Amino acid sequence: MTYKEFLEMLEEVELDLDSAAEALDLEISDIKSWEEEDEIPKSAEKWIKKEKVEFAELHNTNEDENFEDEEEDDLDDEENEDLSFDDVEEEEK
């Protein structure tokens, strides 16, 4: 993995060089020096790939998965509501 690819993956998982340096127990200058290399260290590559998987798991929501259940709950709530406004008016008199 190249330095550029590493930076792109950092951006994808919404992290910055400070976070990467802290996680990898390195100085930011050490990470920036990878730009001169053909590839980044394997430990950094493993770490960013792990972060990407964890990020995907955290942000992978299937909003449609519970849609039918929620729709049924909404209908049930509407059926159980007492909408007799006449009773309220009579009580006020």
pLDDT at 80: 57
pLDDT at 59: 78
Is the model's pTM score more than 0.75?
no
* Average pLDDT along the chain, 93 residues, taken 10 residues at a time: 94 94 95 93 95 86 55 54 57 53
- Half-sphere exposure of residue 45: CA atoms within 13 angstroms, side-chain side: 11
CB 31 within 8 A of CB 20: yes
